[in-house]
Homo-oligomer: A and B are copies of this chain.
C-alpha cells in the first residue's frame, strides 16, 4: 500500500495514536487503513458411495496439484454460502447444507481456512475453468504427495479420523 484509497495522497506506515502496532495511515484525510486476514471457505464433498471429491487446480498457485474445492469468502455471504458457491464454481457440485469440521489459521499467509463436510446428492460433478480435472478418491487413493496446500492435507486427515473419534471440529494453526 502506497496511497490512500480514500483521498489518493501517499500513506505512511506508523503506529496511530492509541494503537500498539503500525498501520498505513493517511495524514491528509486521517484514514487508518487496517489490514486483516482473509477467510477461505472450502468443502470436503462426499459422494453417495463414500468417496471424496478432489479438484486438480487449473490456476496458480499450485497449478496441477489436487485440492478440495474452495476460495476467498466474499462480502454479503456466510461462510457456508461461500463454501457452497466455490464448490459449484470449481467442481459443479451442488449442495445446500454442510457441517463445519475444521478451522485452520495460517498466520504467515494472513488467512483462515474453514472446511465444511458436504454430502453430494448424486454423482454429478464436472471439470471447470478453475479445475482441469475433478475426480472421486477412495481413502487409499488420496494423492497425499500431490496436494496443493498443507491445510487441505490437515483437513483430509482430520476427516478420515472422524469416524473413529466421533464428530469434532479441528481448530489449529499452521506455520505456512
Q: Which residues of A contact B (CB under 8 A)?
A: 1-11, 18, 21, 24, 33-39, 72-81, 99-100, 103, 105, 107-108, 110, 112, 114, 129, 169, 171-173
With most chain B CB atoms within 10 A of its CB, the pick from A5, A34, A80, A129 is A5
With both beta carbons as reference points, the residue of chain B lying nearest to A72 in the complex is identified as: B36
Asked if A112 and B39 sit within 8 Å, CB to CB, the answer is: yes
Asked if A78 and B100 sit within 8 Å, CB to CB, the answer is: no
Q: Which residues on B sit within 8 Å (CB–CB) of A114? A: 103
In Å, the complex CA distance between A80 and B172 comes to 8
Asked if A36 and B39 sit within 8 Å, CB to CB, the answer is: yes
7 further contact pairs, Cβ within 8 A, besides A100-B103, A103-B103: A1-B5, A3-B3, A3-B7, A36-B72, A79-B173, A99-B171, A103-B114
Question: What are 24 A-B pairs at a CB distance below 8 A?
Answer: A1-B5, A1-B6, A3-B3, A3-B4, A4-B5, A5-B24, A8-B8, A18-B129, A36-B38, A37-B73, A39-B39, A73-B112, A75-B107, A75-B110, A76-B110, A77-B107, A78-B107, A79-B103, A80-B105, A80-B171, A80-B173, A81-B107, A99-B171, A100-B169
